[in-house]
Structure 1
Amino acid sequence: MLSKPIWPIKATWPILALVAGIGLSACKILPTPSAQGVAGNASGFNPDKMVEEIWASKVIPYLQEKAGPFAEVHALAKTDQAAAGAKYGNAKKQANSPWTFAVRVEGKIVAANTQSRAATMDIDVDGDGKADARVQIGPAMRGTALRDSLDFVQFNDFTNQIDFAQFGKAFNAYADKTVLSKLPREALEGRTAKVLGAYTIEGGQDLPLVTPAEAEIGPKP
């Protein structure tokens, strides 16, 4: 049997509660950054503004100088991607990234899908009546080919993967706002098209998918 009662131990409870309260009050709950808010985050990162600022002064001149005729670029890319990349692509790309090439696509529209938000037109560049390239005309567009074709844009220049991805999407959004949204959408088959843009070598796709930075569609035949 204990010689002294144990009830005085309860006197320590308020002290423990006080200590716990101090520990909790010293902690701050910080909000988790949202990828959706990256364009206006506290760091000032604004991918849409960044693209707008370099579009006319750097992006278009670079593509105009780097791009080759689609048939020529694609023929070389199918046999020697490294050689095609050195001439028409971004030689500073990450080693594990696919090659992306700057191209000019000129020819006749042989098919078009304008019912989807991811609208496209198929272009015959060699006159055989068959599509050689598929051109995205938005507003929704896959991939980041425009960003990836530029040798002055590198992943290591960005804080994180989210910022880099948002910057890639901003190119597509700007192309749609300034160029693609102004293109006709009706009766495209049979018209001529001229496109300056980029595409990425990917496996499993029916046609090379070109993302335009400039695009023109001729009158109805």
Structure 2
Amino acid sequence: MPNRLTWLTRFTGMMLAALVGLGLSACKILPTPVAQGENNAPAFKPDKMVEDIWASKVIPYLKQKAGPFAEVHALAKTDPAAAGAKYGNPRKQANSPWTFAVRVEGKIIAANTQSRAATMDIDVDGDGKADARVQIGPAMRGTALRDSLDFVQFNDFTNQIDFAQFGKAFNAYADKAVLSKLPREALEGRAAKVIGAYTIEGGQDLPLVTPAEAEIGPKP
């Protein structure tokens, strides 16, 4: 009798294992689809968002807000809060530095176009010395354009990553729409006109301006 029970137990176990194996072989494991956004929200597209507001909001705002570079920078060095109230974004986060909208007009006295982070140094007061360094891309530092706009707020975004990507999208669009069309050869001595924004940062040789509009005159 014990041998018969042992044989039945083994047989039952083998049958169960076979049935489980058949069941698993008939099942197909499918990957879980990745949602486009929480609660079926549309995908976050910072480049498209910037493109949609560039001509209708960004450029008109900067043209209205920007002051002459020499005037803005002189006030920013002595009273950043006063300069920010007049030329900056008063709705900025409290712990963020001031970002100022400016017009830079003058002569290009030096240019670095060998790097992807190309720049041109501009003398705005005619003393032969550079007063501002203007980024002309394609690679650009910072998020000055985003941070100068009082209608763009951190709390409007899901998280810090989205906010950062939105800031980079401004630089990418400025390069695509404006800066990529500028001449790159023999820039020294030419006149330049720029509307953009900059943030005062420690350790900078010159204020670093990110343009939203830029013009370079003919060779002298």
TM class by smaller structure: 0.7 to 0.9
Shift of 1:201: 1.1
Separation in structure 2 between the aligned mates of residue 202 and residue 196 of structure 1, nearest angstrom: 19
Match of 1:23 in 2: none
Q: Deviations over 1:50-74 (max 9, x none)?
A: 1011000000000000000000000
- Secondary structure, counterpart of 1:131 in structure 2: coil
Match of 2:112 in 1: 113
Q: Distance in 1 between matches of 2:93 and 2:179?
A: 29
3-state SS of 2:100 partner: strand
Distance in structure 2 (CA, Å) of the matches to 1:30 and 1:81: 51
Q: 1:115 to 1:87 in 2, by over 3 A?
A: same
Q: Equivalent residues in 2 for 1:7-18 (5 A)?
A: none
Query: 1:77 maps to what in 2?
Result: 76
CA distance, structure 2, for counterparts of residue 169 and residue 118 of structure 1: 14
- Mapped pair 1:169 → 2:171: no
Match for residue 49 of structure 1?
Answer: 48
Aligned partner of 2:177 in structure 1 is 178
Change (3 A) 1:50 1:189: same
Partner SS, residue 207 of structure 1:
coil
Query: In the superposition, relative to structure 1, how do residues 72 and 31 fare at CA in structure 2: closer, same or farther (>3 Å)?
Result: farther
Displacement over 3 Å in runs of 4+: 28-33
SS in 2 for 1:203: coil
Residue aligning to 2:150:
151
Shift of residue 43 of structure 1?
Answer: 3.4
Distance of 1:30 and 1:156 partners within structure 2? 30
SS of the residue corresponding to residue 168 of structure 1 reads helix
In the superposition, relative to structure 1, how do residues 219 and 77 fare at CA in structure 2: closer, same or farther (>3 Å)? same
Look up the SS of the partner of 2:167 in the other structure. helix
- TM superposition score normalised by structure 1: 0.83
Give SS of 2:152's match: coil
Distance 1:201 1:32 in 2: 41
1:100 CA drift (Å): 0.2
TM-score, normalized by length of structure 2? 0.83
Deviation at 1:32, TM superposition (A): 8.8
Q: 2:48 is aligned with what amino acid?
A: K
Distance 1:157 1:186, change over 3 A: same
Which residue of the partner structure matches residue 211 of structure 2?
212
Deviations 1:65-121 (A, max 9, x none): 000000000000000000000000000000011100000000000000000000000
Deviations 1:128-147 (A, max 9, x none): 00000000000000000000
Q: Alignment length, in residue pairs?
A: 205
1:62 maps to 61
Distance 1:43 1:164 in 2: 16
- Whichever residue aligns with residue 188 of structure 2, its letter is E
Residue matched to 1:124 = 123
Shift of 1:29: 8.1
AA of the residue aligned to 1:129: G
Q: Percent identity?
A: 88
Q: 1:172 deviation in Å?
A: 0.4
Q: Which residue pairs with 2:196 in the alignment?
A: 197
Over 3 Å counting, the alpha-carbon distance change for 1:113 and 1:93 in structure 2 is same
Instruction: Describe the SS at the equivalent of 2:95.
Output: coil
